Amino acid sequence: MADEEEAKIESRLEGKDIYSPPEGFKEQANVNDPEIYEYAEENYEEFWADKAERLDWYEKWDEVLKWDPPHAEWFVNGKLNASYNCIDRHVKNGKGDKTAIIWEGEPVDETKEYTFSELQDEVSKFANALKEMGVEKGDIVTFYLPMIPELAIGLLACARIGAPHSVVFGGFSPEALKERINDAESEVLVTADGYYRRGGTIKMWENAEKALKNTPSIDNVVLVDRMERDIEINEERDSYYHELVKDQPAECEPEKMDAEDMLFLMYTSGTTGKPKGVVHTTGGYLTGVSATHNWVFDIKDDDIYWCTADIGWITGHSYIVYGPLANGCTTLMYEGSPDYPEKDRFWEIVEDYEVTKFYTAPTAIRLFMKWGEQYPNEHDLSSLKVLGSVGEPINPKAWKWYHEVIGGGDCPIVDTWWQTETGMMLITPLPGITDLKPGSATKPFPGLRADVFDSQGDSVDTNEGGYLVIKRPWPSMLRTLYQEPERYVETYWSEYENDIYFAGDGARKDEDGYFWVVGRLDDVLNVAGHRLSTMEMESALVDHPAVAEAAVVGKPDELKGQVPVGYVILESGNEPSDELAQELRAHVGEIIGPIGKPAAIRFSDDLPKTRSGKIMRRILKKLEKGESAGDTSTLRNPDIVKELKDKVQ
Ligand code: PRX
């Protein structure tokens, strides 16, 4: 039997395992009546209007949804401020002394906490400093920061004055940072001198400086001296964060923003080399992330909520900063790695702070599994009530381990499917209602319509694989791609009718209507939950003088889900060698960042190509999976497949 068939049967058998919400949990859940699905399906706009009412608005909207496919406006003409909603209104409601952010540095015992009142002061001061620098409503501020409180404060400061932020993940390279600053034409960059990682120091400033050599729009750099390193700065351009905010007033009137004003820009990898600037707006985004956070994590006033993502990715934006803070929830941020000083660091944090809701990625869970249960078992994890998973499919074995070893067998697991573009979770359990099946993200959030289509746009049969689509707009959907409106339409809304969102993922729906997401069908890789474009890696490879042609595909990996593998044809005069392979890997790492480094380089004289010369990456993917290449008769050079197969084995 082919592996694929076996896997299918295994996952169907797994599908028979059902975990119902624990009785005690169900009763106390924020939402526990299954009729909510029917209600939201039939009263979609009322449902979302009701969720928007959870926020404070300066002016109410005239219309909940204006849908001119594929362009949506939500809460039309409504006015609000995201920073106000995440901070000030809680202070006004008497929660000023409640802890808003708990920050834990990587060095043990380095912690900081901010109450909502303190956060209000800090955010206002930084907002005033940005204003003084000349940042105005609509100006895009770029952040390149580690997981330190100034990152959350910075985002909220921008939101306060109506300046959209663009956060570039701290692990990205100077090249990637430069490209994103230039695309957004940012005048201000907020960065840091460095940060701790596994006990060592990452010199962030040196990376930022390299990028800054070619970013003509930047007038000001704000530098957080996280490490108090002795570095040379450009006095005219650069100022230290602490000096800038020191004498600023702790009040800053929030801007009244339109619901459809851009809240932030987030670059993400697509199927071409150029990253896409995903645009999220204010009213719909905040409505969507706060509502989903509240229901999916069953948020209570005394929760200590911890999402282990980095704020440099969408998960951190939606579910470390905006969702939790809009809900007045205490959100925990951790700077460092899970194995410093020991492999029990996460569980030590859970125990110390009595974390109640915990959100992480399958790649991390698989790593914990590999390290062994002795690490979590050393700690009291009984405070945990809901466990979340995001970023890639979670295999049933990891799901069950998470449930048993971390959750003690009685915490619902919420496996949440969503994307940078969707802004909020779209396919997810509701822990007080949904019967869970390990490995399935279960069902669309109330009111949403998801389906699995074949290439013709028809729904596929039960348990048949196909393309995941969303058939209704949702409030926190991306509105466009920054400065590329046509690419927005083409990428997401052109595969089928223009009101069908094409997610780029493969999935199947089982006999109970549960969705089983398989992963990307396009040239996007998911490496340890990080989204990377194979095209970006290919451009990085061919950028090296020894490389004539390159193709990058994903290879399944037990821990990381997928790892990139580069197939390379060398320019004549170059010989394959281990040294050259190392050099090419390092070269890609330098251009994209360490996470983009191919796990292996396979040199070859040729690559499988169609008669028109297109590289058949599909065949390379199959080889990496150890599967048969299938029909190669349409290739110009079918013989190369056998040669490559020998190299892979
Ligand atoms: O392939 C899906 C996978 O991650 C992709 C989105 O990546 P990104 O925009 O970086 O956002 C990640 C965090 C939301 C999706 O197209 N993915 C995300 N969550 C899941 C998932 N695949 C399966 N199950 C999930 N729960």
Q: Please name the residues in contact with 171: beta carbons below 8 A apart, sequence gap of 6 or more.
A: 310, 312, 593, 594, 595
- DSSP string for 575-636: ---HHHHHHHHHHHHHHH-GGG--SEEEE-S---BBTT--B-HHHHHHHHHT------TTBS
pLDDT band at 3 (very low <50, low <70, confident <90, very high): very low
Q: Are 96 and 305 in contact (CB under 8 A)?
A: no
Domain boundaries, the chain: 528-648
Is the shortest distance between the CB of 296 and ligand 1 below 6 Å? no
Is the shortest distance between the CB of 222 and ligand 1 below 6 Å? no
Determine the 3-state secondary structure of 215 from DSSP.
Answer: coil
Omega of the bond leading into 249 within 30 degrees of 0 (cis): no
pLDDT band at 10 (very low <50, low <70, confident <90, very high): very low
Which of 266, 308, 418 maximizes ligand 1 atoms within 8 Å of its Cβ, making it the mutation to test the pocket?
Answer: 418
Average pLDDT value for the chain: 94
pLDDT tens, position by position, 484-506? 999 999 999 999 999 999 999 99
Cβ count near 397 (within 10 Å) = 14
Question: Which tokens sit at 188?
Answer: 């201000």
Residue among 618, 619, 613 nearest 640 (CA) = 619
Is the shortest distance between the CB of 360 and ligand 1 below 6 Å? no
Task: Measure the CA–CA gap between 324 and 313, rounded to whole angstroms.
Answer: 16
CATH number of 528-648: 3.30.300.30
Task: Measure the CA–CA gap between 563 and 554, rounded to whole angstroms.
Answer: 5
CA distances (Å), origin 220, targets 187, 212, 217: 6, 11, 9
Ramachandran sector of residue 29 (left: φ over 0; alpha: ψ -120 to 50; beta: rest): beta
Residue 419 alpha carbon to ligand 1 centre in Å: 5
The half-sphere exposure of 291 on its side-chain side, counting CA atoms within 13 A, is: 25
Residue 161 scores a pLDDT above 90 = yes
Question: Which tokens sit at 224?
Answer: 């957080």
Residue 189 alpha carbon to ligand 1 centre in Å: 28
Q: Write out the H or E segment, with its range, that includes residue 276.
A: strand 276-281
Amino acid at 462: T
Q: Are 167 and 311 in contact (CB under 8 A)?
A: yes
Q: What would the mean pLDDT of 430-441 be, rounded to a whole number?
A: 97
pLDDT band at 239 (very low <50, low <70, confident <90, very high): very high
pTM above 0.75, yes or no: yes
pLDDT of the residue at 338: 96
pLDDT tens, position by position, 28-49? 999 999 999 999 999 999 999 9
Q: Are 357 and 301 in contact (CB under 8 A)?
A: no
Task: Measure the CA–CA gap between 354 and 339, rounded to whole angstroms.
Answer: 19
Residue 439 alpha carbon to ligand 1 centre in Å: 13
Which of 392, 402, 426, 524 maximizes ligand 1 atoms within 8 Å of its Cβ, making it the mutation to test the pocket?
Answer: 392
Q: CA 268, 273, 274 angle in degrees (round to 5)?
A: 55
Of 366-375, 445-454, 633-642, the range with the lowest mean pLDDT is: 633-642
Would you give the DSSP letter of residue 379? S
Q: Are 490 and 481 in contact (CB under 8 A)?
A: no
Task: Measure the CA–CA gap between 519 and 478, rounded to whole angstroms.
Answer: 20
In DSSP terms, which residues pair with 481 in a beta bridge?
A: 278
Question: Which tokens sit at 507?
Answer: 């999935």
Would you give the DSSP letter of residue 573? T
pLDDT of the residue at 224: 98
Is the shortest distance between the CB of 315 and ligand 1 below 6 Å? yes
Which of 317, 414, 530, 531 maximizes ligand 1 atoms within 8 Å of its Cβ, making it the mutation to test the pocket?
Answer: 531
pLDDT of the residue at 64: 98
For ligand 1, atom 13: residue with the closest CA: 391
Determine the 3-state secondary structure of 360 from DSSP.
Answer: strand
